[in-house]
Amino acid sequence: MSASDVTLALLNANVLTMQRDRPRVKAVAVAEDRIVAVGSNADIRRLSSAHTRIIDCHGLTLLPGFNDAHCHLPGLARRSQDLDCGPQRALSIPVLLALVRQWAAARPAGRWVRGHGYDDLRMAEGRHPNRWDLDVAAPENPVWLEHRSGHASALNSPALELAGIHRETPDPPGGVIERHLETGEPTGVLFEMRSFLRQRLGNTRSPQEFEEGMRAAGQLLNRYGITSAQDAGADNGIERWRSFRQLQSNGALSCRITMFAGVGQLDELAAIPSHSGGGLGWGRSAFGSGDYWLRLGHAKIMLTLTSGALSPSVPELAKLVAGAHRWGFPVAIHCIEEEAIAAAAEVLAANRHPALVDRLEHCAEGAPHLVDAVKTCGAAVVTNPGFLYQNGTSYRENVEPRLLPHLYPVGVLHRAGVAVAFGSDAPVIDPNPWPAIYSAVTRRDIDGGALSSNGSDASQTVDVETALRMYTIAGAVAEGLGAEKGTIAPGKLADMVLVNTDPLTAEPEDLAGVETVMTVVEGLVVWSKI
Question: Is residue 194 domain-shared with residue 235, that is, in the same domain?
Answer: no
Is residue 280 over pLDDT 60?
no
525 lies in a domain? no
The answer to whether the CB of 25 falls within 8 A of the CB of 38 is: yes
| Same structural domain, 469 and 481 | yes
Considering the domain boundaries, does residue 529 fall inside one? no
Are residues 238 and 385 both part of a single domain?
yes
Region 474-494 average pLDDT: 99
For residue 302, the enclosing domain spans: 68-72+205-516
Same domain, 406 and 388: yes
Assigned domain for 96 exists: yes
Q: Inform me whether the pLDDT recorded for 507 exceeds 70.
A: yes
**Rounded (10°) angle between helices 368-377 and 338-350:** 30
What is the average pLDDT score of the chain?
A: 94
Taking residues 190-203, report their average pLDDT: 89
My answer on whether 275 and 289 are in the same domain is yes
Q: Is residue 524 part of a domain?
A: no
307, 188: one domain: no
| Half-sphere exposure in the Cβ direction for 413 (13 Å, CA) | 33
Neighbours of 178 (CB within 10 A): 17
From 142, 170, 201, the end of a domain falls on 201
State which of 171, 201, 231 marks the end of a domain: 201
- Residue 279 predicted with pLDDT over 50: no
Confidence class for position 79, pLDDT limits 50, 70, 90:
confident
Residue 72: HSE in the Cβ half-sphere, 13 Å Cα cutoff? 21
Last residue of one domain, picked from the residues 145, 166, 201: 201
Query: What's the CATH code of the domain at 28?
Result: 2.30.40.10
If asked whether residues 412 and 328 sit together in one domain, one would say yes
In this structure, the answer to whether residues 151 and 28 fall within a common structural domain is no
What per-residue confidence (pLDDT) applies to 274?
59
Q: Kindly report the CATH number assigned to the domain that includes residue 127.
A: 3.10.310.70
- Assess whether 151 and 255 both reside in one domain: no
Q: Model confidence over 20-46: pLDDT tens digits?
A: 999 999 999 999 999 999 999 999 999
Residue 528 placed within a domain: no
- The verdict on 164 and 282 lying in the same domain is no
Looking up residue 338, the CATH number of its domain turns out to be 3.20.20.140
List, for residues 409-425, the tens digit of each pLDDT value.
999 999 999 999 999 99
Q: What are phi and psi of 198, to 5 degrees?
A: -65, -35
In the prediction, which pLDDT does 150 show?
A: 84
What percent of the chain is predicted at pLDDT more than 70? 97
Q: pLDDT for 139-166, tens place per residue?
A: 999 999 999 888 899 999 999 999 999 9
User: What band does 337 get if pLDDT is binned at 50, 70 and 90?
Assistant: very high
Q: Give the residue from 394, 332, 404, 333 showing the smallest Cα distance to 365.
A: 404
Would residue 8 count as lying in a domain?
yes
Domain assignment present for 496: yes
- C-alpha to C-alpha distance for 45 and 490, rounded to whole angstroms: 16
| pLDDT tens figures, 444-462 | 999 999 988 777 788 899 9
How many domains does the chain contain in total? 3
What are the CB-based long-range contacts (under 8 Å, 24+) for 85-89? 85/115, 85/116, 85/117, 85/118, 85/145, 86/116, 86/117, 86/118, 86/119, 86/148, 87/117, 87/119, 87/122, 87/148
Whether residues 41 and 151 share a domain: the answer is no
Q: Which of 9, 79, 78 is nearest to 45 (CA)?
A: 9
Q: Is 225 among the domain residues?
A: yes
Same domain? For 176 and 275 the reply is no
